[in-house]
């Protein structure tokens, strides 16, 4: 009898994300993960250079997290969060509020990054509706990405994802990203938008636009935009799905800015890569716009697994790790290592626009290639052949490895990148 491997069995029924299956090859079967390493069904090891889409920042199968979730599993696995509450959600809310910017007061649970931003957009639109103001237009940055549900797609601008759906979107105006030299131009355009449209909210990725290719935003320019938003009652929504929980060197990228957002969207590293969950936090002012004797003014949005006790337990354990002395030392070690690597490569003739913030480092390979083209795929295959899991965004190469990645594992990543510079 023929024994099929996992990759062969996968092809029978599964439909993978971000995949044109007619053009793609077999999926690589991963059977185990520990620390910063993934293991395939042949036993080959891969250093996880992107924390599995920015989630497993404390390392895979971290026993500080898995043991606590296993214990919670024996106590309370799932319960409806409408009409009920439970200790893991309450404890998580108390822990999150301690590390969030000081103006955040209330937390709304959902399932993933896209739903976190979806909730944030709905909060902004309904906030004005509840106040009797006709504000129906959102503002977002060019090349932003905020998820795959319809509101999130509306405020995103990556046509490879959204092209088939654009006629169904809510109205969105787009600002160029302030990068320093264009700040005055961006602010003038923003003021023009304000004079012409009734803007409800501004959603943005603070400091780093992830899916756009780890593009950096000028903090002063962003701060000026946020200040003008507040002066004009435009709710500000920080999409911290990618940047949150230590990746920028602070708990949240918003911690670098003077003007704090009205709403913050969180997921990915929130539960340390163990279970799906999201949180959308907001100020008391936002919450109070929904607090009413009128039932219709409530936020009628809900998910079956909202505030799942196991996911809340994982998130609480993750925050305990994040705020520990050892993990903060790990973050500093990774930051210092990236600083040294940046010096190593930034003079290379094939390297341009080297940038680094916290545990994220990125640059462009000075070779023209499509986001999902054959050359990009060859670059991906090069890294995998060397036991390194990196996912280039077109010609953008970036690292966002777990904080517990060892110096030896980081060096292995660096060497594979330097080999790519010579090869491509």
Residue 191: other Cβ atoms inside 10 A: 12
**Cα–Cα distance for residue pair 362/171, rounded to 1 Å:** 32
- Give 301's contacts (C-beta < 8 A, 6+ positions apart): 108, 110, 118, 119, 122
Confidence (pLDDT) at 1: 46
The H or E element that residue 87 is part of is helix 87-99
pTM value is 0.96
| DSSP, residue by residue, 188-207 | HHHHHHHHHS-EEEEEE-SS
Residue 108: other Cβ atoms inside 10 A: 23
Which residues of the chain are under the pLDDT cut of 50? 1
**Cα–Cα distance for residue pair 21/16, rounded to 1 Å:** 8
Residue 221: other Cβ atoms inside 10 A: 22
**Cα–Cα distance for residue pair 287/104, rounded to 1 Å:** 10
| DSSP, residue by residue, 18-72 | T--TTT--PPPPEEEEEBTEEEETT--EEEETTHHHHT-TT-BT-HHHHHHHHHH
Burial class, 332, CB count within 10 angstroms (exposed 0-12 / middle 13-18 / buried 19+): middle
Task: Say if residues 267 and 277 touch (Cβ distance below 8 Å).
Answer: yes
Half-sphere exposure of 373 (CA within 13 A, CB side): 9
Confidence (pLDDT) at 159: 62
What domains, with CATH codes, occur in the chain? Answer: 6-61+325-423 (3.90.1150.10), 76-322 (3.40.640.10)
Residue 49: closest CA among 418, 360, 372: 360
Give, in degrees to the nearest 5, the angle at Cα 97 between 92 and 98.
Answer: 100
Task: Say if residues 145 and 158 touch (Cβ distance below 8 Å).
Answer: yes
Confidence (pLDDT) at 2: 55
Give, in degrees to the nearest 5, the angle at Cα 260 between 52 and 283.
Answer: 95
Helix (H, G, I), strand (E, B) or coil at 185: helix
Q: Give the pairing type, strands 388-389 and 360-365.
A: unpaired
**Count of helix runs (H) and strand runs (E) in the chain:** 14, 16
């Amino acid at each position: 009898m023929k024994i099929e491997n996992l990759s062969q069995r996968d092809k029978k029924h599964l439909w993978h994300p971000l995949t044109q299956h007619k053009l793609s090859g077999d999926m690589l079967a991963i059977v185990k993960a520990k620390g910063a390493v993934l293991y395939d069904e042949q036993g080959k090891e891969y250093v996880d250079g992107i924390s599995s889409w920015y989630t497993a920042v404390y390392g895979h199968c971290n026993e500080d997290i898995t043991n606590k979730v296993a214990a919670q599993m024996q106590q309370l696995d799932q319960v409806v969060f409408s009409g009920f509450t439970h200790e893991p959600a309450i404890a998580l809310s108390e822990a999150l509020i301690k590390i969030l910017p000081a103006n955040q007061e209330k937390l709304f649970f959902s399932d993933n990054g896209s739903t976190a931003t979806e909730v944030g957009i709905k909060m902004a639109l309904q906030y004005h509706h509840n106040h009797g103001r006709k504000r129906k237009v959102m503002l977002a940055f060019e090349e932003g990405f905020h998820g795959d549900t319809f509101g999130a797609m509306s405020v995103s601008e990556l046509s490879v994802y959204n092209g088939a759906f654009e006629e169904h979107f809510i109205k969105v105006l787009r600002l160029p990203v302030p990068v320093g030299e264009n700040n005055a131009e961006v602010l003038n355009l923003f003021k023009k938008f304000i004079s012409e449209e009734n803007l409800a909210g501004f959603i943005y990725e603070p400091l780093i636009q992830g899916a756009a290719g780890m593009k950096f935003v000028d903090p002063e320019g962003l701060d000026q935009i946020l200040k003008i938003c507040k002066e004009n009652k435009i709710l500000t929504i920080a999409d911290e799905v990618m940047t949150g929980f230590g990746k920028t060197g602070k708990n949240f990228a918003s911690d670098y800015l003077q003007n704090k957002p009205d709403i913050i969207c969180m997921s990915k590293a929130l539960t340390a890569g163990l279970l799906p969950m999201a949180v959308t936090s907001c100020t008391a002012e936002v919450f109070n716009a929904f607090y009413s004797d009128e039932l219709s003014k409530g936020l009628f949005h809900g998910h079956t697994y909202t505030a799942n006790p196991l996911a809340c337990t994982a998130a609480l354990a993750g925050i305990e790790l994040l705020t520990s002395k050892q993990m903060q030392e790990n973050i500093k070690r990774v930051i210092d290592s990236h600083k040294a690597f940046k010096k190593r490569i930034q003079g290379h003739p094939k390297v341009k626009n080297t940038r680094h913030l916290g545990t994220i480092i990125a640059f462009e390979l000075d070779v023209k290639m499509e986001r999902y083209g054959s050359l990009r795929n060859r670059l991906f295959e090069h890294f995998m052949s060397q036991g390194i899991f990196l996912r280039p965004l077109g010609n953008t190469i970036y690292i966002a490895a777990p904080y517990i990645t060892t110096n030896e594992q980081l060096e292995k990543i660096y060497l594979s990148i330097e080999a790519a510079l010579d090869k491509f």
